Chain A
């Protein structure tokens, strides 16, 4: 049944259809880069815990972030900065921030990346999503007077052993999300951007966006479950 609605919502719904199609094809749409990473790594189907030192085929960003987290590596931080700071600037300018204000936010965000690195867990989040969330919080602090209420943080596992398969899985899901968004036409992409950069109100996003979140959700849930088991085991 065709339901008449405002053009933006219609666009969102169209997006849902396109992305649903993507969901069906999911397996066939693994980004080539990651397929390469996968075979190079020759991970077995079983979970093989590896230490971060051994993981050489995660994305560069994950590698840098782990070096910052585990070894307080400044060179790796500089690489993160050179990758993310110019993109943060692009995002902030798009959000209407002036140059000086954008610089202040970038400084705060990147220093938070350094200072909060201990709470980064690649089994539950990819680096850019983690940094995005820090940046949005900072932006909200600047724009509004009251801080956004935040969920209770989960305890971090004591060991820094990494389930490589899980991390690759998260990266792979982020890559297929990236591919799905890249396939949208400019109008639809603009809509998704507006929704996540705070240019649409809740009621404007109201329609089911139908983004292909199912697979990445189950990946992240796996990461949470592993954490829960680990914490239980330690108690």
Chain B
């Protein structure tokens, strides 16, 4: 947990705190923070900025009706919040929640690669990738922003080595070929705001079929 070398950039944390970060990326941020103390502290620092701004707002008076309603609400019996699943050695809590606490349903992406789409919509998509040891994620470039968080195993590409907890931030300037290390299969949480463009391996025509 202390060996994480690649963290969340500040702008992503600020955007997460403000709530403007697209849902697929927000899941990656929440997952990384769940297993990275450094980024947990950084996130709290951004929240402190929000707190300072909140404190500096000119107060606008509150009706006594609202005040009374809230004070009366203190006595309400409220059902306890459902307990959140505890993160395991691979999947942190927010990922388990996105999976509905079920095991991922993998679909083949070709030799050595499987995926499980967690969420796909207008804002982009987020999926789990499962790459067998020694196999490559097909060479691709990006139309937008792509975040890849390693949850198990490790991969290497032109920019470095990424192991559990490491986050790779890629944009359209990066053309890379991540290769899973020998040993355990590499499981990643990958979010993108644009369809990935494969430069080889999967003909572009097939992309809609794979939803990748």
Residues on A close to B: CB < 8 A? Answer: 74, 77-78, 81-82, 84-91, 93-94, 103, 106-107, 110-111, 114-115, 124-133, 135-137, 139-140, 143-144, 146, 148-154, 173-174, 177-178, 181-182, 192-193, 195-202, 205-209, 211, 213, 216-218, 220-221, 223-225, 228
Residues on B with C-beta less than 8 A from A115 are 78
Q: Are A128 and B42 in contact, with the CB atoms below 8 A?
A: no
B171 to chain A minimum Cβ distance, whole angstroms, is 10
Residues on B with C-beta less than 8 A from A153 are 84
Q: Are B48 and A173 in contact, with the CB atoms below 8 A?
A: yes
Q: Are B50 and A114 in contact, with the CB atoms below 8 A?
A: no
Chain A residue with the shortest CB-CB distance to B14: A205
A118 to chain B minimum Cβ distance, whole angstroms, is 12
Residues on A with C-beta less than 8 A from B11 are 202, 205-209
CB within 8 Å for A85 and B67 given contacts A150-B94, A198-B18: yes
Stretch at the interface among B20-28, B129-137, B148-156: B20-28
Indicate if B54 sits at the interface (CB-CB under 8 A): yes
A66 to chain B minimum Cβ distance, whole angstroms, is 16
Residues on B close to A: CB < 8 A? Answer: 10-12, 14-15, 17-23, 25-27, 29-31, 33-34, 37-38, 40-63, 66-67, 69-71, 73-74, 76, 78, 84, 86-87, 92-94, 97-98, 145
Q: How far is the CA of A146 from the CA of B22 in the complex (A)?
A: 11
Q: Are B47 and A133 in contact, with the CB atoms below 8 A?
A: yes
Chain A residue with the shortest CB-CB distance to B37: A224
Q: How far is the CA of A211 from the CA of B48 in the complex (A)?
A: 11
Does more than half of chain B's interface fall in helix, strand or loop, or is it mixed?
A: helix
Chain A residue with the shortest CB-CB distance to B97: A149
Does more than half of chain A's interface fall in helix, strand or loop, or is it mixed?
A: helix
Q: How far is the CA of A150 from the CA of B62 in the complex (A)?
A: 30
Name 13 extra pairs, CB < 8 A, besides A90-B59, A182-B56: A78-B71, A81-B70, A87-B57, A107-B73, A133-B17, A144-B23, A148-B30, A152-B34, A181-B53, A192-B53, A195-B18, A197-B53, A216-B45
CB within 8 Å for A202 and B57 given contacts A213-B42, A224-B37: no
